[in-house]
Structure 1
Amino acid sequence: MSLSTLQDSEKFIEIFPNLYRATFNLHFGPLQCPVSVFLINVEPSNNTWILIDAADPNNISKLFTALSQHFSKFPNYQLKYILLTHGHFDHTGSISKLLNEYKDIKLVLGEPETFNTNYKHVNGNTHTQHLTTAEGKITVNKDRIVLIKQGKEDEFEFFNVLKPIFISDHTLGELNVYST
């Protein structure tokens, strides 16, 4: 079966109530692998959404097309968070573009073991974080990052909705975040 024949190929479809998936083709030479991105309507009454992962760098425009088509059905939507399960390039490919496009969105990261607080750079009153992705280091203002600490996952405002992810995905938190 070709990935392009999948029902969710390059578009979001509802796979469970309030949970949507889009699948994109990741090319490794002649090989193709599916890369899935998820949207969760965490507060249907307020139309609040979380994007889980951000596809690979070669599918940025396709992801944005899929998001645009999906959200055209949900007027007054609020994409509040991008949750990264881990830092592989096929999960972080469009982070910088998403952060630029959605000015109020926050990035949700698991507390990585390699979180480095030894290097601090204060630019005025703004403390910045550097996120290493396939695009290289991306600077993200600290106020746009929600760091979920291991053992304190229930402090995240949508923990009850995302609880199955925290329980089943042991990779949450392996993303390398650098503080400078």
Structure 2
Amino acid sequence: VPNITIGPLVVKSVKKIASIPMDVHLMIEEPDRYIRDFADSGADIITVHSEACPHLHRTIQNIKECGVKAAVSVNPATPLGDIEFILPFVDMALIMSVNPGFGGQKFIPEVLPKIERLKNMISANNHRVDIEVDGGVTVDNVAEVDRAGADIVVMGSAFYNSENYAETVRAVRERCG
């Protein structure tokens, strides 16, 4: 993806003042080249795209060897079968609900059954894997995403475009119970 958001230096700076876990989403080609840098900068979780990792198991091992949690991401059109084998080795699975690239895209509702299938796959095999959903999640659709099985939602544009962050947080909590 040609859009660069933040690098290891920014992660290191934010980590000095933030008390929440830092989830670094490497939506890039050759993520293995950057894993150590982000781990050393203070990342708590490193997420890589299955589509960008020809040797996904090795990449997940590299993340774990750095002492951070490992996560795998799938794009909207990628079948869950592509990551089923890696679920025993990851801490989190991220379902993209937009096609990667830029913020502010509309949520693709066809991923809702995919979230449900992933939740069932995880439960049926007794894996301990959180499900994260990223892309187009808003106050208006967060309840559907929650009901489908998401444990974590990324709501970048929904918050950054909000006039009142506290009200947005309250509304999300109200809708997700």
* TM superposition score normalised by structure 1: 0.35
Of structures 1 and 2, the one with the larger relative CO (CA 8 A, separation 6+) is 1
Structure (1/2) with the larger helix percentage: 2
* TM superposition score normalised by structure 2: 0.36
Structure (1/2) with the larger strand percentage: 1
